[in-house]
Structure 1
Amino acid sequence: MSAPSPFAAPSLRGRIGHDARSGYYPVAHRYRLHLSLSCPHCLQIAVTHSLLGLEDTLPVTLLPALPDAGDDGYLALRPLYEATSHQHRPAAAPVLSDDWSGRIVSTDPAEILTDLARRFPGPDLHPCGAEAAIAAVRQLCELSINAPAQRAGRSDATPDERASALGVLLDGLATVERRLEAGPYLLGEDLTLADVELWVTLVRLDTVHRWHLDAAAVQGIAGHSRVWAYAGRLAGHPAFGRHLDLDGIARRHHTRCLGKEAAGAAIQIVDWAEHAQVRVATG
């Protein structure tokens, strides 16, 4: 279980290409992403950025796993926040900034992802007509995997509460298992933002939530073989595995964690590092 984020603040929500009055046009070499790969939202954005091939169009500034100014966030982001808002707020990632003005465009992860996929050239990761399906996967990941995994690992939960949460989690994984019977990816034959969302959710389940689950729970989670084969396969994809900062994820988790380690911590479901090494060796 993790403490509530000290960086919970209202998002800055400018959009690229949605409103001509904002002046945020989809122009190459104008915008910049500021990401910490230990953060699941930032990891999603980094993977999407690579899938779209935006390395030469929209640069990325990588931040450390942990903020260097405590609850005040990242020192490197402070000038952007101060230039954008008169309100004091923690300087947190992710940030999409405008190099022309030195201001923040957005700190909203879902909207940053959508604007990258819709407003810049590259593979169609957010196809027209798939909006509802992608939103449904986002809801499934949060309500049926992330949230129940955290509840199931709470040290102050009763046995019945943990069992109920685990049931919701296993049902969520079973839903994903059935969806993957129809094709290599969640929405068919091509990668979409739904796959990015699910993959980061599975990384988080195995590298963060697992630490607070008992061995039986982890064995049940690992029993969804198609789900974890899919997770390992994507970890071997150049746009996914290259951004895995396993040490950073561990440091972020253990710094913020309030829960006790359980027996499931010893049962790794996916060897993420090995999949990434295979990708490097064969790519």
Structure 2
Amino acid sequence: MAQFTKETSTTGAFVRQPNRFTARPEPEPGRYRLVVSLACPWAHRAVIVRKLLNLEDDISLAVVDPIRDEKGWRFPGTDPVLNIDFLSEAYRNADPHYDGRVTVPALVDTTTSEVVTNDYPQITLDFSLRWRPESTLYPEHLRDEIDAWIEPIFHNVNNGVYKAGFATSQEAYEDAYTALFAELDRIEEHLSTNTFLVGDQLTEADIRLWTTLVRFDAVYHGHFKCNRNKLTEMPNLWAYAKRLYEKFGDTVDWDHIKRHYYVTHHQINPTGIVPAGPDPQAWTR
């Protein structure tokens, strides 16, 4: 579990490292390349927002191999735009002394091959605020409500599954498990009378929640021991997740998701066996 040693507290709780690169570049079509892993929920949200805001021609996309080893995220061959083999090279180009974990998503300057930002919460917001100010994903009149959902969803759900999965003490695990399902229960109740989290439209809050939901039964339920319920056993959340799958399910790569989690996390799954299920066709039935 070497790669997570620096992110484990003395009580055995997982504490995610802060984002080192937090610049907020002005829009310049063609200059920046979004580097993602299709396995990563934080990167997945950037892929979805880029797609929904029609930014594919403005910001190019690079997808790393789903298997991250001691060298970190690698490209499937030298990246033809950045001319690097590992994302870590772009990190070192920006800061030769960087010694933290190399994370995705990352926005990289194609003129210098330097990471500009790995600030995943801000990247998608800036796609709306700076690149597409007319976006309805983070509209000004709903911003306070969206933020009120984003905060607990991050702590208890998005990061909550990791806090359960990477806990090294029973107490830390149970704290994360309890907070996770309390939040999912709250959302389940909300969705009994609402189609979306905020108002009657898709927003940033929905996208952030959904990238965790879509991985829940395939990964977090078993691999991260978040096993009180499957997503399919929470009827309102399951129906909601399937509705959103109709909008951007084509951004999901089940092979990358499952191979990354089950093969990369040796401390959790030392055999490296990738489970055959669940059936992805359930999302379209």
Structure 2 length normalisation: TM-score? Answer: 0.75
Which residue in the other structure is 2:30 paired with? 29
In the TM superposition, residue 37 of structure 1 has moved relative to its aligned partner by: 0.7
Asked if structure 2 preserves the Cα contact closer than 8 Å seen for 1:2 and 1:259, the reply is no
Asked if structure 2 preserves the Cα contact closer than 8 Å seen for 1:145 and 1:201, the reply is yes
Looking at structure 2, the residues matched to 111 and 81 of structure 1 have their Cα atoms a distance apart, in angstroms, of 18
Distance verdict in 2 for CA 1:132–1:50, change over 3 Å: same
Looking at structure 2, the residues matched to 47 and 178 of structure 1 have their Cα atoms a distance apart, in angstroms, of 26
Asked if structure 2 preserves the Cα contact closer than 8 Å seen for 1:2 and 1:256, the reply is no
In the TM superposition, residue 222 of structure 1 has moved relative to its aligned partner by: 4.1
Among 234, 240, 250, the residue aligned to 2:258: 250
Looking at structure 1, the residues matched to 200 and 213 of structure 2 have their Cα atoms a distance apart, in angstroms, of 20
Which residue in the other structure is 1:12 paired with? 21
Moved more, 177-186 or 69-78: 69-78
- The answer to whether 1:85 aligns with 2:115 is no
Q: Please identify which structure carries the higher helix content.
A: 1
In the TM superposition, residue 184 of structure 1 has moved relative to its aligned partner by: 1.9
Looking at structure 2, the residues matched to 143 and 218 of structure 1 have their Cα atoms a distance apart, in angstroms, of 19
In the TM superposition, residue 3 of structure 1 has moved relative to its aligned partner by: 6.8
Looking at structure 1, the residues matched to 18 and 88 of structure 2 have their Cα atoms a distance apart, in angstroms, of 14
**Number of residue pairs aligned between Structure 1 and Structure 2:** 259
Task: Give 5+ residue unaligned stretches, structure 1.
Answer: 17-24, 279-283
In the TM superposition, residue 188 of structure 1 has moved relative to its aligned partner by: 1.6
Looking at structure 2, the residues matched to 182 and 35 of structure 1 have their Cα atoms a distance apart, in angstroms, of 35
In the TM superposition, residue 52 of structure 1 has moved relative to its aligned partner by: 0.7
**1:39-188 mapped onto 2 (5 Å cutoff):** 39-67=40-68, 70-74=70-74, 75-89=85-99, 91-121=102-132, 123-146=135-158, 148-149=160-161, 158=170, 165-188=176-199
Which residue in the other structure is 2:14 paired with? none
Among 205, 211, 220, the residue aligned to 1:209: 220
2:110 partner letter: D
Looking at structure 1, the residues matched to 225 and 115 of structure 2 have their Cα atoms a distance apart, in angstroms, of 42
Computed over aligned residues only, the root mean square deviation of the Cα atoms, in angstroms, reads 3.5
Which residue in the other structure is 1:275 paired with? 283
2:152 partner letter: L
Distance verdict in 2 for CA 1:216–1:92, change over 3 Å: closer
In the TM superposition, residue 194 of structure 1 has moved relative to its aligned partner by: 0.4
Distance verdict in 2 for CA 1:120–1:168, change over 3 Å: same
Asked if structure 2 preserves the Cα contact closer than 8 Å seen for 1:155 and 1:259, the reply is no
Looking at structure 2, the residues matched to 54 and 94 of structure 1 have their Cα atoms a distance apart, in angstroms, of 15
SS in 2 for 1:42: helix
Looking at structure 2, the residues matched to 216 and 66 of structure 1 have their Cα atoms a distance apart, in angstroms, of 25
Asked if structure 2 preserves the Cα contact closer than 8 Å seen for 1:11 and 1:107, the reply is yes
In the TM superposition, residue 40 of structure 1 has moved relative to its aligned partner by: 1.2
Distance verdict in 2 for CA 1:6–1:63, change over 3 Å: farther
Asked if structure 2 preserves the Cα contact closer than 8 Å seen for 1:32 and 1:58, the reply is yes
Structure 1 length normalisation: TM-score? Answer: 0.76
In the TM superposition, residue 274 of structure 1 has moved relative to its aligned partner by: 4.7
SS in 2 for 1:208: helix
- The answer to whether 1:227 aligns with 2:256 is no
Q: Deviations over 1:196-220 (max 9, x none)?
A: 101012123222221147797225x
Looking at structure 1, the residues matched to 115 and 172 of structure 2 have their Cα atoms a distance apart, in angstroms, of 41
Looking at structure 1, the residues matched to 28 and 97 of structure 2 have their Cα atoms a distance apart, in angstroms, of 29
Query: Percent same amino acid at aligned positions?
Result: 26
SS in 2 for 1:70: coil
Task: Give 5+ residue unaligned stretches, structure 2.
Answer: 8-16, 75-84
In the TM superposition, residue 29 of structure 1 has moved relative to its aligned partner by: 1.9
Looking at structure 1, the residues matched to 201 and 157 of structure 2 have their Cα atoms a distance apart, in angstroms, of 23
